Amino acid sequence: MAFKRFLLLLSLVLIIASSAGKAQPLKPIDHGLQEFTLRDAKLGLIRFYVDLENIKKKQPFFIEVNGSGGLPLCIYIKGKGFGSIYNTFNEQLKAATQKDFHYIILGKPGTPFCDTIRTKDDAKHFDAHQLIANYKFSDEYTNQLSLGWRVAATKKVITYLIKQGYWDGTKIVAYGYSEGGQVVSLLAVADKRITHVIDVVGSGLNQFYDGITAWRIKAAKVEISHKQAQDSIDAELKKIKDIYANPNSTKKEYLGHTYKRWASFGLNPPFEKLRMLNIPIYMIVATADESSPIYGLDYVQLDFIRLGKKNLTYEPCVGCDHYLNNIDTAKTTVHEDYNAKILKWLGK
């Protein structure tokens, strides 16, 4: 199901340091990034970051739109006699793109670049996944986060950077991972300056459909009865109706996210936006993905065939999970493989 909170929160969390008694890389500059801020009357404070590799040059833009949840881009876990740093942005992607593009990533509303999580455990006994999963999102994130916020904030960042002379007038690539994959489809429709869309393990149909299909599959595999599946679906549909009836509520939650967040994404199924685009689209999907199941994404390819559109490159990562790790071969270097494929595709 595309809305499994725990999996989405921890997508692309990469450990980069673990040491005691040493200065920790807690600032953007420590990660080769420069922080910028914009203030908007409706959107609030927008934090975004640009790599320092060629920051004084005019270059194409490569914008990473990351996954769901109000996590900082850098998390410092401080325990008994140790400190560990985890990143929720894709360091490998940044390294692969920063030479030929300005790599750009936005923070979430009300969320600093780095924050500290404290534990009384020592380095041998702390549970990083549990600590990060229990991180409390800011009130501003809870009140602001929606599909509309992410699209509007990204548009303002693009406008600012163009006005400040960072763009060379060529490509503006919108790369979206997981929830970000849903954002980039609407972003490209709303902002004609986007020249390329890369959608990695996003969603194709309405997110709620993934949950309904999951119950049907369980019944088909005789894991539960068809009556149990139908009862579960009826219960889910009751919750979904309540979400659409209260689309601006930030007090009510469903699976760890506000109704406001769910309703905004549920009103904009990605395939409806993607088929409106005539710019090149590269979709990377994972056949063993439980967070963004492939059966909803396969529909995008089917729809493009139906419409006779030729601008979609659809690439399944066979046997891969939500993190593009192959669960059959235990191969964990797939990210690097796809970064190379992405750059080759952009070169065309």
pLDDT in tens, 198-228: 999 999 999 999 999 999 999 999 999 999 9
Whether 335 is in a domain gets the answer yes
Quick one: pLDDT band at residue 128, thresholds 50, 70, 90? very high
The mean pLDDT of 263-273, rounded to a whole number, is 95
Distance, in Å, from the CA atom of 38 to the CA atom of 160, rounded to the nearest integer, reads 9
Whether 246 is in a domain gets the answer no
Whether 317 is in a domain gets the answer yes
Whether 82 is in a domain gets the answer no
- pLDDT score, position 328: 81
- Contacts of residues 16-19 at CB distance under 8 Å and 24 or more positions apart, as own/partner, are 16/85, 16/86, 16/87, 16/91, 17/83, 17/84, 17/85, 18/82, 18/83, 18/84, 18/85, 18/123, 19/82, 19/83
Whether 168 is in a domain gets the answer yes
Domains: count for the chain:
1
Whether 64 is in a domain gets the answer yes
> Is pLDDT at 3 greater than 90 in this prediction?
no
Distance, in Å, from the CA atom of 290 to the CA atom of 256, rounded to the nearest integer, reads 17
In terms of Cα–Cα distance, which of 223, 201, 239, 189 is closest to 322?
A: 201
Structure tokens at 63: 């914008």
For the entire predicted model, the pTM comes to 0.92
Residue 54, Cβ density class (10 Å: 0-12 exposed, 13-18 middle, ≥19 buried): middle
- pLDDT score, position 261: 97
**Which CATH number does the domain housing residue 96 bear?**
3.40.50.1820
Whether 179 is in a domain gets the answer yes
At 23-70, the pLDDT tens digits run: 688 999 999 999 999 999 999 999 999 999 999 999 999 999 999 999
At 154-196, the pLDDT tens digits run: 999 999 999 999 999 999 999 999 999 999 999 999 999 999 9
| Alpha helix positions (H), 100-178 | 128-133, 139-144, 147-163
At 60-96, the pLDDT tens digits run: 999 999 999 999 999 999 999 999 999 999 999 999 9
Domain encompassing residue 315: 40-72+91-111+137-205+269-347
Beta-bridge mates of residue 248? none
Q: 270-297 burial string, b = 16+ CB within 10 Å, else e?
A: bbebbbebeebbbbbbbbbbebbbbebb
Whether 116 is in a domain gets the answer no
Q: Which amino acid is at 69?
A: G
